[in-house]
Structure 1
Amino acid sequence: MSSVEIELKLSVKPDAISAVCRQLFQFPHDYTSPQHLTNIYFETPDNQLRRWDMGLRIRGFDGHYEMTIKTAGKVIGGLHQRPEFNILLYQPKLDLTLFPDHIWPENTDLVALQAQLTELFSTDFNREKWLVTYGESEIEVVLDQGSIFSGNKDSGDQTLPICEFELELKNGNIIDMLSLANRLASQNGLRLADKSKAARGYALVHGLPCKILPKVPNALEWQQPLSVLLPEILAQWQAQEEGWLAGLPEGKTGLAQVLQWMIKLTERQTDRLPLLGVLADLLPELKVVLSMNYSQAETLCYSASWLQCKLALMQWLLAQSR
């Protein structure tokens, strides 16, 4: 079975979880109590799947198994859109021949490829689920809490925590999903996350070196259409934010430049208000807070105002594509 997965990932501080859950229970919903999930991700020694921008896993739950491959897609901020193919299994054993032929590069030898695949990393987490009716859409919201393990989880290798909400559009439109996320962002403790569990697992396996941030240009080419400018700004915002959170001071400097871009852009687009109302109101305030010597990455990047600005930027971007 194939589908295009459209989801929004929100990293969450543990002390904010209960407040977000209380909000979710206030919407029309179907609730599923926490379930324990395990996932094993596979790769070749030369990272062939990664080079094809593919991710392969087997998920286990309550004696049932599912093999999933995700193929190349796109990520805008924390909004992920990737084709995925799911195959039910009777036992947790790979069989690449069960996937459609067209997903593989031409002349791929599936027998040879499968022979090279080994367990690379795994995830082990509890998932709580709400199927929310919001606006004209059905949106599945899950809370995942657990860990990512490099290699086998019992081998004592490195781990990373999992603590995130994911909003996945099941039926309806992306604007409703962003609107729901904005409702949840009325409190501190959430931020857009542009790294999937798989991407974080790959980073864990291959080490976590000090990231070199992309250089932020002093000026943008303002004559470009908004459909080009907005993704560029959002990508820089996300990259500089990740760097600052990782302890790189130049990330804070880069964010100051990004916020200045956004202020200038909203001033140029005053005819588009009230769509830009949130941005016009909050951006100057955030720029002032960011400039203060005592500003902390964990506090500002997980603040409600910070997230609401990024969600407004994403909504503005989607409006350009209509």
Structure 2
Amino acid sequence: MAREIELKLSIDPQQAAAFKALPLLAKSDTAACQRLNNQYFDTPDRLLAQHRVALRIREQGERYIQTLKTRGSSRGGLHQRNEWEWDLATPELDYSLLATADWPEALQESEVQRRIVPAFNTDFERTTWMLRPQSVSGEPALIELVLDRGQVSATTAGGAAVTTALCELELELKQGSAADLYGLALLLAEAVPVLLSDISKAERGYRLLGAMDERPEPPLEPVELDSVETFAALAQRALTRASRGLDGWRGSQGLGQGEGRDWPGAETAAVACLELQALLQCFATLLPLTAELQVPLAQLCQGLEGALGWRRLQRRLDKAAEAWARAQAPAAAGQLDALLNDPATGRVLLGYGALLQGL
């Protein structure tokens, strides 16, 4: 079993070429490009998704690799998860291999395994750089940076073929500390607009099928309201909601400027950003210097409010105002897209994540 420590970012596909041209990447020890095709599996009633498990077979050149991933943990946008990989002779699932992994007991029944079928596919080009950035921690740092660009595709229950774009960055720590991941990510965010991402490739596939509900947050344990631990617990939840909401909005970019966009996700992000702002104010005396976060976070909150205020008004109006409400959507969508294309948006959320990681 391998345990990954990585930071995932989403990037607009139109920014991919500019990203690959960054001078920072010219300092890479190596740069490689390969095509990866992945078939994900689940039961028709999505039992694997319910247990937060991803099972896939990857075609990588002439190799076939079976991979099992579990959810793991996340703090400040930093992901730690368990992963098992096995080489296969053919692109056929080998269930016997799963016995050596942390395979949920509810999925071990042979009857369940017989029901596992292909669910969706990801096909993307992966470009990899090995970078040795200036270390934040003092010890030598080595980070694997990958850009994945392609698409997720699936067939709905009704037989319709559906696709969505895939464009994301992954920074995996090979040597050094988690602070080094944030240091590199913030450098990248100075040059191109990126967003913290908490949405896996598997989840993007399930979203495409309309088979992924937002997971409920577990209840908080009783906490002291004047502790750094309380701030971290509350802020982590808000940061996750903000990043998922904004990433969901970006993912709906190909669906026009009207009701097809992920308006609920954007509204969730707006509320979460207000919570992040309030937490900085309420816990200011317990935290390291946060002044550099306060102004850009306030600007982000103001921008989101300006783009979404009409949605609250819409809910108070009768059906006679529906035409008016629909007319507001294109301009509001343009405002939200502009916010996400402003590097300041990604920088402030990354900065908040770095603050949480360092507590």
Output the TM-score relative to the length of structure 2. 0.75
- Is 2:127 the partner of 1:148? no
Distance (Å, rounded) in 2 between the aligned partners of 1:19 and 1:149: 26
Would the aligned equivalents of 2:10 and 2:247 in 1 still touch at CA under 8 Å?
no
Q: Counterpart in 2 of 1:30? A: 30
For residues 124-182 of structure 1, the C-alpha deviation after alignment (integer angstroms, 9 at most, x for no partner) is 11111101112232211111111111149xx8711111112111222222111111111
Aligned length: 308
Q: Counterpart in 1 of 2:203? A: 199
Structure 2: segments with no counterpart, 5+ residues: 218-223, 253-260, 308-330
Q: Counterpart in 1 of 2:236? A: 231
Cα distance, 1:65 vs. partner? Answer: 1.0
Q: Counterpart in 2 of 1:269? A: 284
Would the aligned equivalents of 2:244 and 2:269 in 1 still touch at CA under 8 Å?
no
Single out whichever of 264-273 and 35-44 deviates more from structure 2. Answer: 264-273
Would the aligned equivalents of 1:96 and 1:110 in 2 still touch at CA under 8 Å?
no
Single out whichever of 107-116 and 127-136 deviates more from structure 2. Answer: 107-116
Distance (Å, rounded) in 1 between the aligned partners of 2:129 and 2:17: 14
For residues 25-70 of structure 1, the C-alpha deviation after alignment (integer angstroms, 9 at most, x for no partner) is 24343211x2111101111223222222211001011111110000
- Is 2:297 the partner of 1:283? yes
Q: Counterpart in 1 of 2:315? A: none
Distance (Å, rounded) in 1 between the aligned partners of 2:286 and 2:82: 36
Q: Counterpart in 2 of 1:45? A: 44
Q: More helix by proportion, 1 or 2?
A: 2
Q: How does 1:123-272 map to 2 (within 5 A)?
A: 123-134=122-133, 135=135, 136-151=140-155, 157-206=161-210, 223=226, 225-242=230-247, 247=261, 249=263, 254-267=268-281, 268-269=283-284, 272=287
Query: Are residues 117 and 248 of structure 1, via their aligned partners in 2, closer, same or farther at CA, if it must alter by over 3 Å?
Result: closer
Distance (Å, rounded) in 2 between the aligned partners of 1:158 and 1:64: 27
Aligned-partner SS, 1:99: helix
For residues 103-132 of structure 1, the C-alpha deviation after alignment (integer angstroms, 9 at most, x for no partner) is 133486454343222111111111111011
Q: Counterpart in 1 of 2:323? A: none
Would the aligned equivalents of 2:67 and 2:85 in 1 still touch at CA under 8 Å?
yes
Aligned-partner SS, 2:19: helix
Query: Are residues 78 and 160 of structure 1, via their aligned partners in 2, closer, same or farther at CA, if it must alter by over 3 Å?
Result: farther
Q: Share of identical aligned residues, percent?
A: 31
Aligned-partner SS, 2:153: strand
- What code does the residue aligned with 2:145 have? V
- Is 2:347 the partner of 1:308? yes
Q: Counterpart in 2 of 1:95? A: 94
Distance (Å, rounded) in 1 between the aligned partners of 2:41 and 2:115: 10
Aligned-residue CA RMSD (Å) = 3.1
Q: How does 1:12-27 map to 2 (within 5 A)?
A: 12-23=11-22, 24-27=24-27
Cα distance, 1:278 vs. partner? Answer: 2.6
Output the TM-score relative to the length of structure 1. 0.83
- What code does the residue aligned with 1:231 have? Q
Would the aligned equivalents of 1:44 and 1:117 in 2 still touch at CA under 8 Å?
yes
Aligned-partner SS, 1:58: strand
For residues 282-305 of structure 1, the C-alpha deviation after alignment (integer angstroms, 9 at most, x for no partner) is 223333433445661111123211
- What code does the residue aligned with 2:349 have? K
- What code does the residue aligned with 2:243 have? Q
Would the aligned equivalents of 2:67 and 2:84 in 1 still touch at CA under 8 Å?
yes
Query: Are residues 27 and 277 of structure 1, via their aligned partners in 2, closer, same or farther at CA, if it must alter by over 3 Å?
Result: farther
Single out whichever of 162-171 and 16-25 deviates more from structure 2. Answer: 16-25
Single out whichever of 111-120 and 247-256 deviates more from structure 2. Answer: 247-256
Q: How does 1:66-105 map to 2 (within 5 A)?
A: 66-76=65-75, 78-101=77-100, 103-105=102-104
Query: Are residues 239 and 9 of structure 1, via their aligned partners in 2, closer, same or farther at CA, if it must alter by over 3 Å?
Result: closer
Cα distance, 1:76 vs. partner? Answer: 4.2
Cα distance, 1:189 vs. partner? Answer: 2.9
Distance (Å, rounded) in 2 between the aligned partners of 1:151 and 1:255: 30
- What code does the residue aligned with 1:309 have? V
Would the aligned equivalents of 1:78 and 1:193 in 2 still touch at CA under 8 Å?
yes
Query: Are residues 112 and 172 of structure 1, via their aligned partners in 2, closer, same or farther at CA, if it must alter by over 3 Å?
Result: farther
- What code does the residue aligned with 2:148 have? D
